[in-house]
Structure 1
Amino acid sequence: MTDDLTTQAPAEDAQQFVRGLAETAAFFEVTAPTVRAWIDRGCPVERKGGHGVSYALDLRKVAAWRRDQAEAEAEADARRAEVEEQLRLELLGPDAMPSETADRLTPKQEADWLRGERERIQIAALRRKLVEAAALERDLARVMAQLSERLLLVPDELGRIRGWSDEEVEAVREKMGDLVNDAIDAARDVLTAGETAVTADDQAA
């Protein structure tokens, strides 16, 4: 069987390329239902059969249509493979499973692998966020400690300016210390709440 048919033929010889449905199927080594499926998909016919009328197909036109279909399908497959590779790279990163490896897996094995990769990515993202939160908490603690140290010097300076007694200075220092500690605790609570919310969101994803 071949799809390479002469397309330049005298008009009087054109009829030799016209075949019925069964003959066309035999020529291309397929079944008659397959040829009917081609026709439904747009394969050209010289005469459409039905109600006692037989089909008539030009073998040259059928061969040309099949070549066009094969080229279109090859291009579609190439585009589909490119999209799959790009999607795999975007979702799973540069360490994603190569397509040649995926081709050797069953659909279930590939689904299991992708599920494992997704979980690994989520865990890595969560770990990174926790590390960032811990670093932020350390920085916050350092800043608050420095701020607390400077604020606790204020009562002594005010006492000197206003002539407070040692008892008055100590009372103000204790009150300011309580306020500073409350502020540190409030900041830590906000940070912890944000960290908990991030963890819950990642687990729900």
Structure 2
Amino acid sequence: MSDKNKKSKGQVVNRADLANINGVSLPTIDDWVRRGCPVMQRGARGRAWQFNTAEVRNWRDDDIRAQAVEAGPATKDELILRKLRAETEQAELDLSKARNELVPVEQFDRAMTKAFGEVRAGFRNVLPSRAARRLIGESDETKMKEVLIDEVDQILLVLSDSDLIHETDLEVEDDEEDDDEGANSE
């Protein structure tokens, strides 16, 4: 069975999340799309881009292999430079980990799920009751829109002033730390 026939769930993410997950810029994502990166849904007015992370990862693996083949055999100097680049990147990654600037994707995902749950709850629990009181008897569409925009802005203001993600949401669990240490010592 070829790699392309393997099915992996992955996660559905937007353009910005895909860029963050891969540590690249938005223009890089645009370049990937132009070069054939799989897209679940193209963005348009009011519609976000959607990508499946597993499909993108598989495409990137194939793309990287294709670029390596196109490059042809490397010279000794090129291989030395590639090795130095890889060692530098690894040292920078290790430094970022030591400074606690990185968290595992699973924990970030869990924290973001919690944060978006808070946003959803704010809109579902607060917006209908507050807006309904202000809109009783209102028939002017412009006034209705102003009230709804004001209520949305109020909810977003409250949410921006609160900590949707706490440090504990990003902490590595002891079991995961032990696993990482065991893997590093081998």
Report TM bin, short chain: 0.3 to 0.5
TM-score, normalised via structure 2 length: 0.35
Question: Comparing both chains, which one has the higher relative contact order based on Cα–Cα distances under 8 Å and sequence gaps of 6 or more?
Answer: 2
Larger of the two Rg values belongs to structure: 1
Higher helix share: 1
